[in-house]
Amino acid sequence: MADQNFVDYVKIMFRSGHGGAGFVHFFRSKGTPKGGPDGGNGGRGGHIVLKGNSNLWTLLHLKYRKHIFAKDGEKGGENNCTGADGEDVVVEVPLGTVAVDPETGDKLLEITAHDEEQILLPGGRGGKGNAFFVSSTHQAPDYSQPGEEGVEQWIVLELKVLADVGLVGFPNAGKSTLLSAVSAARPKVANYAFTTLTPNLGIVSYRDSKSFVMADIPGIIEDAHLGRGLGIRFLRHIERNSVLLFMIPCDSQNISREYEILLNELEQYNPELLDKPRCLAITKTDIVESEWLTLIQPDLPKSIPTVFISAVTNKGLTELKDLIWKLINQ
């Protein structure tokens, strides 16, 4: 799918339906000229419902829908007839979608499972008809309730990609090349920074017909948490990954320093990201002599399991998948 078709942020005005009004009516017939109250209740207004759909992976279908309104409930009728409920509006979204209040930044709900349904905005309750207010001391009430107003609100829907493994690294660290080497995904690969502008997902085959999902996230730069580069547009996608795979080229001037910068960016954005299992892949080992790999060993971070790989020659990819599988199933 083209990059421009990947949409992970939309802002929509939602409005749930108003409740129907209660009805005021007194039963009348040829034999009963002064019957009692029989006005029915109004129907409930339609809800706005979000529903998970695993066949969707972008919010593109909502990009041009700026207003989504549910139907109002109908008013009650005579003979204690309750008005029909307003029709709910079910909005299908990809898994990992989060609804956010743009005014406060508060998370309203998130959808993480196929066919999961959650009410985003409830419809207004229907008003009570005059039959509801009959009591032993008030036999003929001649009033009813109006329906409750629906809820109208601007809401932001954000997509956070769901994956078992998220690739974390600076631009041009070899993330897209790795994804294309271990899966059927074909992200854009080129020898310049910010080749990847949107997340790419690939299914990685493992032993005994097992598999896991890997996400290629656009590259991080220093101060990304402040909005530099692609900023928080991509950092939020890392939140939904189970394992973080840090990737640093073997010809980097200071591998430990690059790792610390990446780690700091994640911590500044969301400290909980540091609680996720993580490992380190030293990439592009095909471009240096084996003696160089021995020389840089002392400079590697000590607190993280490390694998030397080359996505071009497939060196170390089996060991990397073994390590990732172990971390996923810890």
Give the pair of three-digit tokens for residue 130: 């005059």
Backbone dihedral angles phi then psi of residue 286, each to the nearest 5 degrees: -75, -10
pLDDT in tens, 117-143: 999 999 999 999 999 999 988 889 999
Please tell me the predicted confidence (pLDDT) of residue 126: 97
Which residue is listed with tokens 């008013």?
75
Q: Are strands 152-159 and 9-15 parallel, antiparallel or unpaired?
A: antiparallel
Per residue in 121-131, is it b (16+ CB within 10 Å) or e — as a string? Answer: bbbbbbbbbbb
- Report d(CA 211, CA 276) in Å as an integer: 20
Q: Where in the chain is the domain with CATH 3.40.50.300?
A: 163-328
Q: Using alpha carbons, select from 85, 77, 84, 73 the residue that is nearest to residue 40.
A: 77
Residue 47 clears pLDDT 80, i.e. is over it: yes
In the chain, the amino acid numbered 143 is Y
Rg (CA), the chain: 29
pLDDT confidence band for 10 (50 / 70 / 90): very high
**CB of 94 closer than 8 Å to CB of 42:** no
- Report d(CA 292, CA 285) in Å as an integer: 9
Mean pLDDT estimate for the chain: 86
Please tell me the predicted confidence (pLDDT) of residue 156: 96
Percent of the chain past pLDDT 70, that is, above it, reads 89
- Which of 182-191, 227-236, 292-301, 314-323 is predicted most confidently? 314-323
- Find the mean pLDDT for residues 9-22: 96
Give the pair of three-digit tokens for residue 143: 């009033």
Residue 266 clears pLDDT 70, i.e. is over it: yes
For residue 303, CA distances in Å to 176, 259, 260 come to: 25, 11, 11
- Report d(CA 70, CA 48) in Å as an integer: 6
Superfamily of domain 1-159 in the CATH hierarchy = GTP1/OBG domain (2.70.210.12)
Q: Where in the chain is the domain with CATH 2.70.210.12?
A: 1-159
Percent of the chain past pLDDT 90, that is, above it, reads 50
Residue 90 clears pLDDT 70, i.e. is over it: yes
**Who wins on pLDDT, 112 or 299?**
112
Give the pair of three-digit tokens for residue 222: 């220093």
Please tell me the predicted confidence (pLDDT) of residue 189: 46
Per residue in 202-211, is it b (16+ CB within 10 Å) or e — as a string? Answer: bebebeeeee
Superfamily of domain 163-328 in the CATH hierarchy = P-loop containing nucleotide triphosphate hydrolases (3.40.50.300)
Q: Using alpha carbons, select from 136, 129, 126 the residue that is nearest to residue 25.
A: 129
Residue 82 clears pLDDT 60, i.e. is over it: yes
Q: Full-prediction pTM beyond 0.95?
A: no
- Find the mean pLDDT for residues 77-96: 95
Q: Using alpha carbons, select from 211, 242, 247 the residue that is nearest to residue 328.
A: 242
pLDDT in tens, 152-211: 999 999 988 778 898 888 887 788 888 888 887 565 444 434 444 567 778 888 988 899
pLDDT confidence band for 223 (50 / 70 / 90): low
Residue 277 clears pLDDT 70, i.e. is over it: yes
241-249: strand order across its sheet:
200-205, 211-216, 163-169, 241-249, 278-283, 306-308
Chain centre distance of CA 78: 46
